[in-house]
Chain A
Amino acid sequence: MSENAKLPLDSWHRAQGARMVGFAGYEMPIQYEGIMAEHLWTRESAGLFDVSHMGQIIVSGPGAAAALELVLPGEIRKLGVERMRYSLLLAPDGGIVDDLMVTRLGYADPELCGLAEGETVPDDQEYFYLVVNGATKHGDLAYLREILPDAVHVHHMEDRALVALQGPKAGEAFARLVPEVAALYFMQAGGFTWKSPEGDIGLWASRSGYTGEDGFEISVAAEHVEALAEALGGDAAIKPVGLGARDSLRLEAGLPLYGHDIDQETTPIEADLGFALSKRRREAADFPAASMILAQREQGAERKRVGLAIEGRQPVREGARVVDADGKEVGKITSGGFSPSLGQPIAMAYVPADLVEPGNTITIEQRGKAFAGIVTAMPFLPHNYHRQPKQ
């Protein structure tokens, strides 16, 4: 553990009774009172997660949107100010280097852009805020700097912490601290001021997350994150939640975990993330490996990521083999565990194209024992996002 770095909230986690483990190069809280209790609390109230290990990156400069479209298959040029989307950082061969959230910033977002008061930027400057996975952030930075034109600046904000507040009571609880955040809908973001007892503290908040629940991801200067965690943690609706429950929550929500369910060897279509390919980008076929990915989209990929409800009570785990009637390996479990909300084991797997229809039963082999898995549409549990009403 000694080679792992400490997060800004390290001592706060320990004071809350966290059990710390090494993850993505950091010592992180895996649980406080227990994974099951923390999971269920997040689904009924609100959980506070420290995700400061994730990479927060500003991509800025003239033509930053066009530059990002060199490596992301989504609509970035027409992304509105303070609007965000999920996207995939693609390798030249169409493999997934990382998955991420990208937000267009207005020029006047000094909280994230680090502009001095009164400082202005030229009209041709564009600013984007990226949140990438912790284990992959250094590789992502190197890749972005290699591919993007020199005029586009890639800045890693190492002095900022990130916490997530997730759950049906996250909106009302956060609004008790910062009333203005109530105006955000799902996948919207903005800069806010928290009038803390110690003075005004700038926050960047987006209404998004990784649990399938309503909630926020809140970026704050590392020096202020403990005060923020104290203030949020003092709300009766909020309890700290560790990495263990973060994993079981995202699995129920059907959300892939990079390095497990998606990686350089999987394509967006195989990963069932075709929604990340925006219409204009598909028509222009101007993203990495577009011809291969679009052919897969038309004709179907040979394998696909699916959800599985596992019969019985014993979970299947990452690495278990999906087998055919002859016992030959035809796929792999990429995530698996016990669903606290459903009270049964669930999993994600890559299976051959002829097995992907919901309702199909597939066979999984783990430690010499056969398990039955029913292909199930994801999310396993309905998402509970605070979406903007249709106009």
Chain B
Amino acid sequence: MARYFTEDHEWIDIEGDHATIGITDYAQEQLGDIVFVEVPESGSVLEKGADAAVVESVKAASDVYAPVSGEILEGNDALADEPALVNTSPEEDGWFFRMSLSDSSELEGLMDAKAYKAFVDSL
């Protein structure tokens, strides 16, 4: 399994042509206490860069974008009852949604863990 990262602070786990997407530990730290998450509905077809999910902290709302194009397979229903999972386990239990991958070449522009760490350190 390969994990990629975006400059929007999302992580993407790839298994075959399926992707699991969430926000990074750095992103949850910046957002602060998460009080609400809206995940996309199964079956939605999203282009890369489209609005996919909404994450709200006490202070502000932020969008989570589809990092690749494809069809939504499922959203993480656990976040409806426990949005704070994004704070406590951002890169595991606090995943946002899974999607199919319609164009694997879109992965080429993404960062690996080392490149993402360097990106965050530069901020």
State yes or no: do A and B come from one complex: yes
A244 at the B interface (CB under 8 A): yes
> A20 near B: Cβ within 8 Å?
no
- Whether B59 contacts A337 by the Cβ 8 Å rule is yes
Tell me if A56 counts as interface (CB < 8 A to partner B).
no
- Which of B38, B59, B83 has its CB near the most chain A CB atoms (within 10 A)? B59
For the complex formed, measure the closest distance between the CB of B32 and the CB atoms of chain A, giving whole angstroms. Answer: 6
Complex contact A314–B36 (CB within 8 A) = yes
Pairwise interchain contact B32-A244, C-beta atoms closer than 8 A = yes
Binary contact readout A32-45 vs B (1 if CB under 8 angstroms, 0 otherwise): 00111101000000
- Minimum C-beta distance from A258 to chain B (A): 18
Is there an interface contact between A338 and B35, defined as CB atoms closer than 8 Å?
yes
Given contacts A34-B33, A35-B33, A338-B36, contact A314 B58 (CB under 8 A): no
Residues from chain A with Cβ under 8 Å of B57 in the complex? 35
Residue of A nearest to B80 (CB): A313
Contact A31/B32 with A314-B38, A315-B56, A338-B56 known, Cβ cut-off 8 Å: yes
A317 to B62, CA, bound (A): 12
* Chain B, 61-91, CB within 8 A of any chain A CB: 61, 80, 83
CB pair B38 A35 closer than 8 Å: no
Size category, B interface: 10 to 19
* Chain B residue at minimum C-beta to C-beta distance from A35: B58
CB of B123 closer than 8 Å to a CB of A? no
Closest to B60 in A: A317
Interface flags for A366-385 (1: CB within 8 Å of B; 0: not) read 01000000000000000000
Chain B residues closer than 8 Å to A30, beta-carbon distance? 59
Q: Are B56 and A35 in contact (CB under 8 A)?
A: no
Bound form: Cα–Cα A34–B32 in Å:
6
Whether the pair B35, A313 counts as a contact (CB closer than 8 A) is yes
A63 at interface, CB cutoff 8 A: no
Q: Tell me, rounded to whole Å, the shortest Cβ–Cβ distance linking A381 to chain B.
A: 15
Instruction: Determine whether the beta carbon of A36 is less than 8 Å from that of B36.
Output: no
Chain A positions within 8 Å of B61 at CB level: 315, 317
**A-B residue pair count with CB separations less than 8 angstroms:** 44
- CB contacts (< 8 Å) of A248 on chain B: these are 58
Interchain CB contact under 8 A, B58 and A338: yes
Contact with B along A335-374 (1 / 0, CB 8 A): 0011010000100000000000000000000010000000
Most buried by B among A31, A338, A367: A338
Nearest CB of B to A242, in Å: 10
Residue of B nearest to A366 (CB): B61
Are B59 and A313 within 8 A (Cβ)?
A: no
Bound: A313/B57 CA distance, A: 11
B33 touches A36 (CB 8 A): yes
B60/A36 in contact, CB under 8 A: no
B59 CB contacts on chain A under 8 angstroms:
30, 35, 244, 247, 337
- Measured in the bound complex, the distance between the Cα atoms of B61 and A247 in whole Å is 16
Docked CA distance A39–B54 (Å): 24
- Kindly identify, within residues 27 to 49 of chain B, every residue whose CB is under 8 Å from any CB belonging to chain A: 32-33, 35-36, 38
List B contacts of A34 (CB < 8 A). Answer: 32-33
In Å, the complex CA distance between A317 and B56 comes to 10
B77 to A: closest C-beta gap in Å: 14
Nearest chain A residue, comparing its CB with the CB of B38:
A314
> Is there contact, CB below 8 Å, between B58 and A340?
yes
Partner of A313, one of B33, B36, B58, B60: B36
C-alpha gap A107/B19 in the complex (Å): 73
From residue B64, how far is it (CB to closest CB) to chain A in Å?
14
Q: Chain B's nearest CB lies how many Å from the CB of A337?
A: 6
Complexed CA–CA distance, A317 and B33 (Å): 16
Q: How far is the CA of A36 from the CA of B61 in the complex (A)?
A: 16
Residue of A35, A244, A313 near B83 (CB, 8 A) is A313
Q: Would you give 22 A-B contacts (Cβ < 8 Å), ordered by A?
A: A30-B59, A34-B32, A34-B33, A35-B32, A35-B33, A35-B57, A36-B32, A36-B33, A36-B58, A244-B32, A244-B59, A313-B36, A313-B80, A313-B83, A314-B36, A314-B54, A314-B56, A317-B61, A337-B59, A338-B58, A340-B33, A367-B54
* Given pairs A313-B80, A337-B59, 20 additional interface contacts (CB within 8 A): A30-B59, A36-B33, A36-B58, A39-B58, A244-B58, A244-B59, A248-B58, A313-B35, A313-B83, A314-B36, A314-B38, A315-B36, A315-B61, A317-B60, A317-B61, A337-B58, A338-B35, A338-B58, A345-B35, A367-B54
List of 7 A-B pairs having minimum Cβ-Cβ separation, nearest first:
A36-B33, A338-B35, A314-B36, A35-B58, A313-B36, A338-B58, A244-B59
